[in-house]
Amino acid sequence: MAAPANKTLKDLNGTWIMNKTLSDPTDPILQLQGIGWLIRQGIKLATIQLNTTQFPDPTTSASHIDIVQPGFGNIGGTTEKRVLDGEVREHTDHIFGAVKGHTKWTTLSSLSDDNEDERFLKEGWYKGEGGADGVGGEEMVDSYVERVDGSWDARQIWGFREVEVGGGKKERRHARRTVVRKKGKKDVKRATLVYDYRPREEGAA
């Protein structure tokens, strides 16, 4: 379903399910990141579900976004714990291995039209995100991660977009624009990922 009007980047609490029909294919990105064929096939068939809890740090007031992704088939689940303070942190999971990165608030106007990747990341956001002209001052989530071994890096901008859902109808959806690059090479993959919203069941993780 479409994202309710009260769901913003300041309140992502709930369950977000990747809509594979509305999203770009993820297999080329996963392949560039060195994910094996069997795991990629499992991801193609799986429901990608992000159980999200967002809350302020009681000490610093920095926003925390905790995301639990249930496992599927023989692939275990993953947990992301993000703090939007721009500090670099390391993390290891069974899909991407050892990675490090940071998450912070940014504005679309801070992204350069002269940089091909940043131009892609800033395009097409909903008027309520980034200002009415699409390049204004409202804050977006800016996420950067790289493999510790230096094989690839990835950057995402999170926000909300008006998405064509069929029959000429458009709906407001949570989305993430993603750029992944093979380090030291020209290999690059770009994609827009679109998510359906589902309220969190009371007591669910």
pLDDT by residue (tens digit) across 24-62?
Answer: 999 999 999 999 999 999 999 999 999 999 999 999 989
In this structure, of 73-82, 117-126, 150-159, the range with the lowest mean pLDDT score is 73-82
Residue 1, beta-bridge partner list: none
Q: What is the pTM of this model?
A: 0.90
- DSSP character for 186? S
Return the pLDDT at 128: 56
Return the pLDDT at 201: 62
Return the pLDDT at 36: 94
Q: What is the mean pLDDT of residues 150-176?
A: 94
Residue 135 has pLDDT above 50, yes or no: no
Cα gap 127→186, rounded to integer Å:
33
The architecture of the domain spanning 14-198 is Beta Barrel (2.40)
**pLDDT tier at 19, thresholds 50, 70, 90:** very high
Return the pLDDT at 133: 41
Q: How high is the mean pLDDT of the chain?
A: 90
- DSSP character for 145? E
Return the pLDDT at 134: 41
Return the pLDDT at 88: 98
Residue 137 has pLDDT above 80, yes or no: no
DSSP E strand boundaries for the chain = 14-18, 49-56, 63-69, 78-83, 89-93, 97-107, 139-147, 152-166, 169-182, 188-198
Domain ranges of the chain: 14-198
Q: What is the mean pLDDT of residues 118-127?
A: 88
